[in-house]
Amino acid sequence: MGNPFRQLARDSVVYGLSTVVQRLLTFLLTPLYTNVLTPAELGDVAQLYSLMALASVLATSGFEQAFMRYWVEDDKRRGVITHAVGGVATVAVLIAGIGAAAAPVIASSLVLSSTRGAALVRLAFAIVALDAVATIPLAMLRMERRAMLFASLRVLSVVVNVAFNILLVSLWQWGVDGVMIAGLVSSLVASLLATPLVLPHIGGSFDRTMLGILLRFGLPTVPASLAAMIVQVADRPILGWLAGGTSVGIYNANYRLAIPMMLAVSVFETAWRPLYLQHASDSDIGTLLARAMRYFIAGATALFTIVTLFIGDVVAIPIGSGHLIGAQYWSGLGVVPIVMAGYIALGLITTMVASILITKRTTLLPLIYGIAALTNVVLNVLLIPLLGYIGAAWATFGAYAVGAVATSFLSRRVLAVPYPWWSIVQAAGICIAVGIVNTLFPQQGMLWVKAVAALAACGGAYWIGRFNATR
């Protein structure tokens, strides 16, 4: 098999650098929003993006995952891509039309503070449709390992989004409308650039068999993806209903500060999926999966340590007359380490779910993510009245943790993998210790003491990744 981790490393560098650039550019919007928008307005933005996330799952309908799986092994690639593109386009238009018609009802159910709620919802569904159009072309670039072109398109889209946010939100003071219009423009640019990439590959007549193959693989992933998205975004509407839009705004601003861990998981997944699918038939695939998990938890533990200890100092960096993050949002900094811990659990799910996709047991995915989604909703309802937005953060962590346990239980029944469980226990111990120590430090200051604590914890993470290979 050679060393597939060299390929993973090469692709991860490209995907990683581009994703870092994307996330850093996107992160520039957080200081902009927290210094320009009120918490209630930022709450509206969070609600709309939660809606878009759920609608996007329905708009792609599992065609992306099905396309990537059968692009690897099917000689008739023209048929695979033709039916995947056509399927996504059809469903996306349908979803966008339904969303536009139901916009007033949806806006009311989200309890948006803006008087233009229905118009904002329609903009959200237009963005969803445009993003769906670009899904298969971008997936094709990943499977062809054209990482540089993939990365360039993604970065350009984010650049356009940030530029229009600066213009419309900061300079022209268009508020939430400006945020959504900026998103619409960037999605339009991405779809216009990505669509021509697949046109030379499209052709032939309609093949019911091929469409059936894609649907049989892809449709079972829709409930799973929808449930996974519920885990990510259900806390915002529930928090809005139980605690109000201002709490949603504070929570969402601090949730976004967990972006380094989200970034790490995203980079890992982007490069990881094509790798394990391409090596799915190798005899030592179990060893590959186990090593990937150990490397991930080592890196994630180190990242958790650094962000947790220093995030309070970072948000207080002065920018003009304000700070990197508006001071009115600092009360929610306790959200950050809890959400990052949840992302670590999500990374474990990402690693272990490879067993299910390799063996084509996608019918197990709705069960895994359904359990996590149900856990998320129940914990949000129980914890938010007691703890406010901190309760929402713990609900996120709890959902991902339960999902990881469920994934472990089911994945071992379809493919035997020697996962490094002892290393996971050690990593959890380090993260818990860091969280406890962090409560003893002030939000700002004591940098040298924090640095010593960070070096000690990162040393433990390095030991997990480098010297704990046999566990």
pLDDT band at 270 (very low <50, low <70, confident <90, very high): confident
Q: Provide the strand spans (E) within 261-308.
A: none
Stated length of the chain? 471
pLDDT band at 10 (very low <50, low <70, confident <90, very high): low
Side-chain-side CA neighbours of 415 within 13 Å: the count stands at: 26
Burial 383-421 (b: 16+ CB within 10 A, else e): bbeeebbbbbbbbbbbbbbbbbbbbbebbeeebebebbe
Query: Cα(260)–Cα(263) distance, rounded to whole angstroms?
Result: 5
Task: Evaluate whether 403 touches 369 at the Cβ level (below 8 Å).
Answer: yes
Share of the chain above pLDDT 90, in %: 35
pLDDT of residue 471 exceeding 50: no
Query: Cα(460)–Cα(329) distance, rounded to whole angstroms?
Result: 32
What's the pLDDT at 360?
A: 74
pLDDT of residue 60 exceeding 50: yes
pLDDT of residue 380 exceeding 90: yes
Query: How far, in Å, are 85, 175, 238, 257 from residue 330 at the CA level?
Result: 44, 22, 22, 11
* Chain segment 41-53, per-residue pLDDT in tens: 999 999 999 899 8
Per-residue pLDDT averaged across 287-294, rounded? 82
Task: Evaluate whether 180 touches 124 at the Cβ level (below 8 Å).
Answer: yes
What's the pLDDT at 11?
A: 61
Other residues' Cβ atoms within 10 Å of the Cβ of residue 327:
12
Query: Cα(52)–Cα(61) distance, rounded to whole angstroms?
Result: 14
* Chain segment 223-258, per-residue pLDDT in tens: 877 887 888 888 998 998 898 888 999 999 999 899
Give 70-73 contacts, CB < 8 A, sequence gap 24+: 70/213, 70/214, 70/217, 71/139, 71/140, 71/143, 72/143, 72/277, 72/278, 72/280
Range scoring the smallest mean pLDDT among 75-89, 369-383, 406-420: 75-89
Task: Evaluate whether 208 touches 147 at the Cβ level (below 8 Å).
Answer: no
pLDDT of residue 273 exceeding 60: yes
Highest mean pLDDT among 57-61, 75-79, 142-146, 215-219: 57-61
Query: Cα(300)–Cα(464) distance, rounded to whole angstroms?
Result: 11
What's the pLDDT at 72?
A: 61
Task: Evaluate whether 224 touches 368 at the Cβ level (below 8 Å).
Answer: yes
What's the pLDDT at 227?
A: 81
Range scoring the smallest mean pLDDT among 123-132, 200-209, 430-439: 200-209
What's the pLDDT at 322?
A: 75
Both tokens assigned to 378 = 């129940």
pLDDT of residue 4 exceeding 70: no
318 phi and psi angles, rounded to 5 deg: -70, 135
Query: How far, in Å, are 13, 24, 114, 175 from residue 252 at the CA level?
Result: 29, 17, 17, 16
Query: Which amino acid does the sequence have at 336?
Result: V
Query: How far, in Å, are 123, 286, 334 from residue 385 at the CA level?
Result: 32, 44, 17
What's the pLDDT at 467?
A: 59
Both tokens assigned to 28 = 């520039």
Place of tokens 């975004």: 233
The full set of domain ranges for the chain reads 1-13+220-471, 37-218
* Chain segment 14-36, per-residue pLDDT in tens: 666 676 677 677 777 888 898 88
pLDDT band at 341 (very low <50, low <70, confident <90, very high): very high
Query: Cα(22)–Cα(365) distance, rounded to whole angstroms?
Result: 29
Query: Cα(103)–Cα(126) distance, rounded to whole angstroms?
Result: 12
pLDDT of residue 105 exceeding 90: yes
* Chain segment 162-194, per-residue pLDDT in tens: 999 999 998 999 999 999 999 999 999 999 999
What's the pLDDT at 255?
A: 93
What's the pLDDT at 1?
A: 46
Burial environment of residue 359 by CB neighbours within 10 A (0 to 12, 13 to 18, 19 or more): middle
For residue 318, the 8-state DSSP code is: E
Which is higher by pLDDT, 286 or 154? 154
Q: Provide the strand spans (E) within 341-450.
A: none
What's the pLDDT at 230?
A: 86
What's the pLDDT at 384?
A: 96
Q: Return the SS3 of 339.
A: helix
Range scoring the smallest mean pLDDT among 271-280, 334-343, 349-358, 409-418: 271-280
Residues 329, 333, 339, 343, CA torsion sign = positive
What's the pLDDT at 309?
A: 92
Share of the chain above pLDDT 70, in %: 90
Query: How far, in Å, are 41, 63, 106, 431 from residue 49 at the CA level?
Result: 13, 22, 13, 30
What integer best gives the mean pLDDT of the chain? Answer: 85
Side-chain-side CA neighbours of 422 within 13 Å: the count stands at: 8
